[in-house]
Amino acid sequence: MDFVHLHCHSNYSLLLGASSVSDLLMRAKELGMSHLALTDTNNLYGAFEFCQLAEAIGVEPIVGAQVEFLDGDVVLLVVDDEGYGNLCEMLTRRNLDGAQDACECLSTYHRGLIVLARDVELARSLQSIIPAGDLYLEVPIEECAGRDSQPGKGASITQPLAARCQIANQYGGTSHKNSGGVWGHAMAAPTSLPRVATGPVFFAASCDYERHRVLTAIRLNKPIKHLSESDVVSKACWLRSKEEMCRIFGDDSDAILNTVKVAERCKFRLKARPPMLPEFALPEGEASAEEFLEKICRRNLKALYPNADKRRVEQLDNELQVIGEMGMAAYFLIVWDIANFARRRGIPMWGRGSAANSLVSHLLGLTQPDPLRYNLYFPRFLSRGRKGCPDVDLDFCHRRRDEVLKYVLEKYGEEHAALLSTHVTFGTRFALREVGRVLGLSQNDLNALTRGVPHFGGCGRAVSEPSSGRARRPYAPRSESIYGSGDSPLQKVVAMAERIRGFPRHLSVHPGGTLISRGKLNRYVPLERSSQGLPVTQFEMNAAEATGLVKIDLLGQRGLSVIADTLKAIRANYGTELELDKIDRKDPKTLRLLAEGRTIGCFQIESPSMRNLLQRLRPKSEDDVIVAIALVRPGPREGGMLDRFIRRFHGKERVSYLHPALEPILEESFGILMTEEQVMRIAVEVVGLTDAEAHVMRKMITKGRRYPMTRQIEVRFKECAVERGFRPELADKLWELVSRFASFSFCKAHAVSYGLLSYRCAFLKAHFTAEFLAAVLSNHGGYYDTREYVQETKRCGLAVQLPCINRSEADFTGNRDAIRIGLSQIGGLKQKTISRILSSRDAGGKFLNLADFVFRVKPSYQELESLIRCGAVDCFGLTRPQLLWQMMRLYPALKREKQQTLLSGIDVPPSPPVPPQLPRYTWQEIEKMEIEILGVDPRDHGVWRRPLPGSARVGSNAQGSPRPGSLDMRAAALRQAERHGFVKSSQLAKYRNRRVAVSGRVIAGKRIRTRKGNYMKFLTLEDSDGLVEVVLFPSIYQKFGSKTVGASMVQVKGIVRDEGGSLMLNAEQIT
């Protein structure tokens, strides 16, 4: 007898289901099952993945969900397209508006669905609503003390009530509760409803039960030892074979046969489909989207290029024709409308990605680069015969992006617009911490467990080293903290953490994806609310796009905010309106900054690898920054392409081509294949493939995907090459040239878009350093943390001024040769207090004394203490001990004054008490307070013992020893290191190709994966003179990498290498 599991939960039943979609399907395939249903709780998160995998392995998928209603839970299985739409709409109503009444909801949305109800009373209520044959009574496994494991002793539907209640309770759970005895009583009562047997299934195999318990403990936020039976599902809820299910339900064959009957009716499959392009509301008098789009483009062409040549006009004609043939005009107009909104509001915006290949995108103001000026290639963005929708990605000032999202959601409404979702999953460290917490580890044990564990890869099936027995993962740095025998508590935590690593934990919002639909969006995908109250889809990006939903990426970008804030400061400080569109593309000061690698803070070009590349490249124009962005990836570096390009760029190597036909395409990159656009041009212009074929080929070789037509494309490529006159052996070499391009690929249009933005940042840093770095700090930096940007400010020769209640704004401010720390940098100072400081200062002028400040602003005692200790109240001319003395006497006086004010109606600040002479703080004490409260070191890093106003010299009292963690402590460590033969960063040039040792603070690190799959790491260290760039190649990284995780100070021994003018330290040992 055949059987189908119709009630199965995967790990998309978050923190409840204990098996992945693939594990469930593989188990079903292994058991020879023809069908399998996926019915996660209140969601279709995994539905598309489930259907795709099921089709790939030969199992028929049944789409469904267990839906929790106010009057009970039901399982809903999709029969057809109408049923799928109804299920999506029902889930949306439940998730957006709260739980619904089952009878009321299903009376509207039951068509195309099969309903399985556990509760007989609910099932009877539904009988008047659901047509006969679409409603079944769900009969779960009724397990009594292992009865299911004894052949021939399956449970019977006539089993006594007490036993049924016991079984019902075993099946219960916090999110999957039933009505206990009521359920049992109803089951014991006679009913005419057809029955269907279910597991239900919450894990693929019985051994996964413990994983379910751990996930449940995490969900309920309680130790696993405190879980009750009602918190978890039964141990019996695993995916059993059809033979076992038939044995258990041996005397209820109808319940078994009905599973097959239901499965055969569920023909719906969630499949990929063409884009369902939304409509655009045309202005009155406009006949069609195509004509309106053409009108805008030709008008803007005339405005931007009054003397447009024939080539530009032909390019526009061609693009408009392709867009019209593919029905994409409305899509472009929708994005144009969004961009227009941003422009009207003055929201900084920048287009990026492959859309910059399009002249239409440029004329609509979606992208900035002129595609003809930069020799870009439209078919990389859109071409005839191409499937799917083009990507138009718009970046906005990160502080104002929400204004754009609000506009889109309000314009199209929740029925037609929503944000894309994504799932936050258990990473290595997160899994270790969560599992360790519920298994009872202390906070100290958790810290010890995760110390040195990388933020990537696996955490445990221990691979022990013969010498130490300590566990590690191949290719990952050894984690000194994960060790012990297989039965030790730590190893149990590690083993379970590895088993849940990658599991979804909760739903989140995609950083930029926005969906706009033609029809009702909730008929295509269920929606729910994000934590911010915004509607989000239950499908992630790939599933949403594959099922035909059209995505527009609207992202927040800090680089745009930095530029906008810098321009605002320039207007305020210099009275100048700087137009970045008109800056010199070969500005000497900017090119010098780039050639010296002084680009910390500059968008996309501040990482150690990029600064190293810029020093080797020594850019001669803005265009060379674009080249650098295209080159700075692991592939070019490993494959030797980077070195070869730099040699040719500087005229040290002859430029050559595989064939003369390649010269017009590869001339701009000195004969080296660099961009995806070049790959497509070779395929089309040299070989003779169509644009659509070239698009498929590009995706195949640049994304590393195993397309079914990979071999066909190769054959087609070579055949066309031969037809074009290439000898077969040359056609083979040409294919090898483009197919080996996978590691080196980059979209040129994207590099151009970001290169222009990066050059603008470099220009601003070169000419308006203080204003620019203040803007970087105010927008919370980029690649580095705030401390490093403050250090960069000092390296640029600028003074860093303490926060001041009379001078500071909320954020950092820059003016010519100094930056001032903003009030928001002060730890413990509330935003409301900052607002009161600024508004009171604007209304009543500067604060006259401490009493005046306290009376007008009314900070808390703790806030005022922090303000004093970090130096924000130094403006009153008193030492910090004196200010603290005043504070301690002022607050009681204020309390008395407040009572008198209420009686007399007089509203004047009290007079501040006059402080006595008090011992001043030492340097170390002042430094410690500032760093602890501000989170940064405002003092000059090169002068360790400079006396401060209101401070004593170091050594003037017993407080002269360095404080742990203070800058003085680090300075002492560095000086001690130098006395022991450590080389300073400024001296590295003297030691080329020699072995040295350096000591410094770790300010940045980046891990990459080599072409062979091994990991390596780049580190940036800071000492008293500057920065040291360190490379840990795979063997060194595996041995010493854990010492760089969470480290503040490290000592590195290695060999100094000169990489084309940029010094790198190839590490050999780290302590």
How much is the pLDDT for 175? 39
Instruction: Answer for the pair 1042, 477: CB distance below 8 angstroms, yes or no.
Output: yes
Lowest-confidence pick of 327-331, 846-850, 1039-1043:
1039-1043
pLDDT of 190 > 60? The answer is no
List C-alpha distances in Å: 812 to 436, 602, 822, 930, 1003. 40, 17, 4, 16, 21
Q: What percent of the chain is predicted at pLDDT more than 90?
A: 64
Confidence of residue 726 (pLDDT cuts 50, 70, 90): very high
Quick one: average pLDDT of 664-689?
Answer: 93
Q: What dihedral angle (degrees, nearest 10) is formed by the CA atoms of 220, 223, 225, 226?
A: -50
Confidence of residue 90 (pLDDT cuts 50, 70, 90): very high
Quick one: average pLDDT of 834-854?
Answer: 95
Confidence of residue 540 (pLDDT cuts 50, 70, 90): very high
Confidence of residue 153 (pLDDT cuts 50, 70, 90): very low
Radius of gyration of the chain (CA): 34
Say how far apart CA 971 and CA 988 lie, in whole Å. Answer: 19
Please give the distance of CA 736 from its chain centroid, rounded to a whole number: 35
Confidence of residue 176 (pLDDT cuts 50, 70, 90): very low
Confidence of residue 908 (pLDDT cuts 50, 70, 90): low
How much is the pLDDT for 543? 93
Structure-token pair, residue 779: 């927008």
SS (H, E, C) 167-210: HHHHHCCCCCCCCCHHHHHHHHCCCCCCEEEECCECECCHHHHH
How much is the pLDDT for 627? 94
Quick one: average pLDDT of 420-427?
Answer: 94
Domain at 980-1070: CATH architecture: Beta Barrel (2.40)
Residue type for position 479:
S
The domain locations on the chain are 21-265, 289-423+508-559, 427-502, 560-759, 792-952, 980-1070
Confidence of residue 472 (pLDDT cuts 50, 70, 90): very low
Residue type for position 375:
N
Taking only the tens place, the pLDDT of each residue in 336-390 is 999 999 999 999 999 999 999 999 999 999 999 999 999 999 999 999 878 778 8
Domain at 21-265: CATH architecture: Alpha-Beta Barrel (3.20)
How much is the pLDDT for 948? 35
Say how far apart CA 567 and CA 572 lie, in whole Å. Answer: 9
How much is the pLDDT for 362? 97
How much is the pLDDT for 455? 57
Does the domain at 792-952 match CATH 1.10.150? Answer given as: yes
For residue 581, give the nearest of 401, 344, 365, 395 by alpha carbon: 365
Lowest-confidence pick of 114-128, 410-424, 958-972, 1032-1046:
958-972
Taking only the tens place, the pLDDT of each residue in 101-127 is 999 999 999 999 999 999 999 999 999
Taking only the tens place, the pLDDT of each residue in 941-962 is 443 333 333 333 333 333 333 4
How much is the pLDDT for 387? 77
How much is the pLDDT for 165? 32
Lowest-confidence pick of 428-437, 834-843, 905-914:
905-914
pLDDT of 976 > 60? The answer is no
pLDDT of 531 > 50? The answer is yes
How much is the pLDDT for 478? 52
Quick one: average pLDDT of 239-263?
Answer: 92
Quick one: average pLDDT of 172-184?
Answer: 37
Strand residue runs (E) in 758-896: 799-801, 813-815, 818-820
Structure-token pair, residue 893: 């006086």
Q: Is the dihedral of CA 672, 677, 679, 682 positive or negative?
A: negative
How much is the pLDDT for 958? 30
Taking only the tens place, the pLDDT of each residue in 11-35 is 999 999 999 999 999 999 999 999 9
How much is the pLDDT for 244? 93
Q: What is the pLDDT of the chain when averaged over all its residues?
A: 85
How much is the pLDDT for 704? 56
pLDDT of 895 > 70? The answer is no
Contacts of 607-612 with CB under 8 Å at 24 or more apart are 607/632, 607/783, 607/1004, 607/1006, 608/1004, 608/1006, 608/1018, 608/1019, 608/1020, 608/1029, 609/637, 609/1006, 609/1018, 611/1029, 611/1062, 612/1029, 612/1059, 612/1062, 612/1064
- Residues 681, 686, 692: CA angle, nearest 5 degrees: 50
pLDDT of 475 > 90? The answer is no
How much is the pLDDT for 834? 97
How much is the pLDDT for 972? 57
pLDDT of 210 > 90? The answer is yes
Instruction: Look up the pTM and report it.
Output: 0.84
Determine the 3-state secondary structure of 376 from DSSP: coil
C-beta atoms surrounding 456 within 10 Å = 13
Confidence of residue 560 (pLDDT cuts 50, 70, 90): very high
Confidence of residue 988 (pLDDT cuts 50, 70, 90): confident
How much is the pLDDT for 180? 34
pLDDT of 192 > 50? The answer is yes
Say how far apart CA 559 and CA 782 lie, in whole Å. Answer: 8
Lowest-confidence pick of 418-422, 799-803, 1010-1014:
1010-1014
Structure-token pair, residue 574: 């210099």
pLDDT of 759 > 60? The answer is yes
Quick one: average pLDDT of 985-1005?
Answer: 86
Quick one: average pLDDT of 695-723?
Answer: 79
